[in-house]
Structure 1
Amino acid sequence: MSACSGSPPDNLGVTDGRLAACPDSPNCVNSQASDTRHAIEALPLKGTPEQTQAYLKALLKDEPRALLVEEAPGYLRAEFSSKLMHFVDDVEFVVGAAGVDVRSASRLGYADFDVNRERIEQVRQRLNQ
């Protein structure tokens, strides 16, 4: 089953305040994207940026099949795996003074049936509670 997980791409992380652009495939969303296919609204803060990052970290810990793999001030990266085939999606959060930029992308394949978009919208709902 681990063959479906792939390796993390080398373009993850923040470069000059920006997350990696989405590939041409529809299996990625990014709050910094300008095209409608990949664009998603940034997440709101829940308190201060530090409080928001702590809250996001707690949300990730509660998510089934999610693993926090990187944490730095203002940055979180998690890997989400699908239940059956263990496909892995890389999810990144950049927490700043104006909100949380986010990128969620499938490692393998082309289409994701909007799984990445729905995941971020669920995080948004949980932040708004």
Structure 2
Amino acid sequence: MLRSLLSLVLTTTLALSAMVGLAQPVHANPTNAMHLAALPLIGNLFSGQRPSNLGVKDGKLAPCPSSPNCVISQGSPDADHAIAPLQYDGDPSAAMEKLVAVVKAMPRTTIIEQTNDYLYAEFASQLMGYVDDVEFYLDPAASAIQVRSASRLGQSDLGVNRKRIEAIRSEFS
């Protein structure tokens, strides 16, 4: 009985293998390898170059460009770019510490520079890896953290920079 069962399993396996085809080992294909090697380059294609005008100068963050893919809490006369700063009560260093924790908890975020009164982070989009530059300046005279969030590439960000700052505001409060 056992012998006939094993014979049936073997026959069935051979028949199915003949119909479907035997599994072939995968061999490296240099053409496919070149396509795979290009993936990091494609990701970098959408990251753009880090701007050289970032940072705080005379107590101000850099102004937004004319494109609508930027928001700033300092000095923007138009509603498309203007956004309220983050407000805090109490110790400025505790506020900065809390802000750093909120930013670090966000997905696809890299903190590039951090001082007692300044934070600069890069946020990458999930699908194409577009990078946005986000800056925070702790302004103790105003008991506020000034913000600037700008896309490196393109014209429209579909409101992503504004939504990001509002998400940070809600976590920060």
Q: Same fold (TM over 0.5)?
A: yes
1:13 to 52, 55, 58: 55
- Return the offset for 1:59: 1.0
1:110 is matched with 155
Would the aligned equivalents of 1:46 and 1:127 in 2 still touch at CA under 8 Å? no
1:29 is matched with 71
**1:1-129 aligned within 5 A:** 1-32=43-74, 33-45=76-88, 47-97=90-140, 98-128=143-173
Structure with the larger strand share: 1
- Return the offset for 1:60: 1.4
- Return the offset for 1:47: 3.5
Quote the RMSD (CA, aligned, Å). Answer: 0.9
Identity of aligned residues (%): 49
Q: Secondary structure at the match of 1:54?
A: helix
Structure 1: gaps spanning 5 or more residues: none
Which ranges of 4 or more aligned residues in structure 1 deviate by more than 2 Å?
Answer: none
Q: Normalization by structure 1: what TM-score?
A: 0.96
Q: Secondary structure at the match of 1:55?
A: helix
Q: Secondary structure at the match of 2:87?
A: coil
Q: Secondary structure at the match of 2:86?
A: coil
Name the larger-Rg structure. 2
- Return the offset for 1:63: 0.8
Structure 2: gaps spanning 5 or more residues: 1-42
Structure with the larger helix share: 2
Larger RCO, structures 1/2 (Cα 8 Å, 6+ apart): 1
Q: Give per-residue Cα distances to partners, 1:25-62, cap 9 Å, x unaligned.
A: 00000000222110000111153210111011111111
Would the aligned equivalents of 1:53 and 1:95 in 2 still touch at CA under 8 Å? yes
Would the aligned equivalents of 2:103 and 2:168 in 1 still touch at CA under 8 Å? no
Q: Normalization by structure 2: what TM-score?
A: 0.72
Q: Give per-residue Cα distances to partners, 1:52-84, cap 9 Å, x unaligned.
A: 110111111111101100011200000000001
